[in-house]
Amino acid sequence: MTSKLREEICKIGQSLYARGYTAGSSGNISVRLPDGGWLMTPTNIAMGDLDPAELALIDAQGRFVSGPKPTKESFLHLAMYRHRADAGAVVHLHSTHAVAVSMLEETDPDAAIPPLTAYAVMKLGKVKLVPYFPPGDPALGDAVAAVAGKHHAVLLANHGPVVAGKDLRAAQYASEELEETAKLLFILGDRRYRALTPDAILDLQHRFPS
Ligand SMILES: O=C(CO)COP(=O)(O)O
Ligand SMILES: [Zn+2]
């Protein structure tokens, strides 16, 4: 069970890295274990270089158990889980277009990604913009904790998205949807566009309850 999860974390990390969803040593992944603990990616490693035997194990109390030193954003992941009992995995990326959206003055802090497509609405809900704090700063965890109960997808200002899902695939798919929707925003640029109407959004929420 754990070995399958370890392989899945690395496979998805490698896939995200290979397709340019996060670069350098940025990004991290965590998965909740059946015993209440977590597997987390190590700090300072490219997602393309993840090794199933080299993941950090954290216990149900959030204490480091074994493996390499976990991501410096471990408290940020734990903040998401603490406020989302349904979350089985969290993905954090520095995906380029989403980071760019996080810096735009015009970005709505309560709905950072507009409802451009059905999948953006279905996979993300309303994306909350969280103010800037340095990576690894505990204040970042507090800021995410404050909004995690209402938002499973948040965008850290001048940094990148943090997305929780019921399992790792769900968190991956939602993270990709966030980046692709941010990319659409820039493709549209200054042109006037039609986003989904409130009625269309309600209809999607009814058809695809999260
Ligand atoms: O994205 C990152 C910091 O925000 C990467 O940090 P880690 O290498 O510690 O996971
Ligand atoms: Zn980061």
What's the pLDDT band for 139 if we cut at 50, 70, 90? very high
The token duo for 29 is: 């992944």
Work out which ligand 1 atom sits closest to the CA atom of 27.
1
Count of other CB atoms within 10 angstroms of residue 2: 15
Active site residue 81: no
Instruction: Enumerate the β-bridge partners of residue 57.
Output: 39, 66
| Ligand number nearest to the C-alpha of 69 | 1
Domain containing 26: what range?
Answer: 2-207
* Cβ of 95 below 6 Å from ligand 1: no
pLDDT at residue 2, rounded to an integer: 83
Q: How many domains does the chain have?
A: 1
What is the DSSP track for the chain?
-HHHHHHHHHHHHHHHHHTTSS-TT--EEEEE-TTS-EEEPBSS--GGG--TTS-EEE-TTS-EEESSPBPTTHHHHHHHHHH-TT--EEEE---HHHHHHHH-TT--TT-SS---SHHHHHHHSSPEEEPP--TT-HHHHHHHHHHHTT-SEEEETTTEEEEEESSHHHHHHHHHHHHHHHHHHHHHTTS---PPPHHHHHHHHHHS--
Work out which ligand 1 atom sits closest to the CA atom of 135.
4
Order of strands across the sheet with 38-40? 64-66, 56-58, 38-40, 28-32, 89-92, 160-165, 153-156, 128-130
Active site residue 177: no
CA atoms within 13 A on the CB side of 157: 15
pLDDT at residue 1, rounded to an integer: 62
Residue 20's CATH number: 3.40.225.10
Q: What is the pLDDT of residues 41-78, one digit of tens each?
A: 999 999 999 999 999 999 999 999 999 999 999 999 99
Q: Which one of the listed residues 8, 21, 73, 81 is annotated catalytic?
A: 73
C-alpha dihedral (136, 141, 143, 146), degrees to nearest 10: 170
- Determine the distance from the C-alpha atom of residue 29 to the mean position of all C-alpha atoms in its chain, rounded to a whole number: 8
Q: What is the pLDDT of residues 156-205, one digit of tens each?
A: 999 999 999 999 999 999 999 999 999 999 999 999 999 999 999 999 99
What is the distance in A from the centroid of ligand 1 to the CA of 29?
10
Closest residue to atom 4 of ligand 1, CA basis: 135
CA atoms within 13 A on the CB side of 155: 32
In this prediction the ipTM stands at 0.99
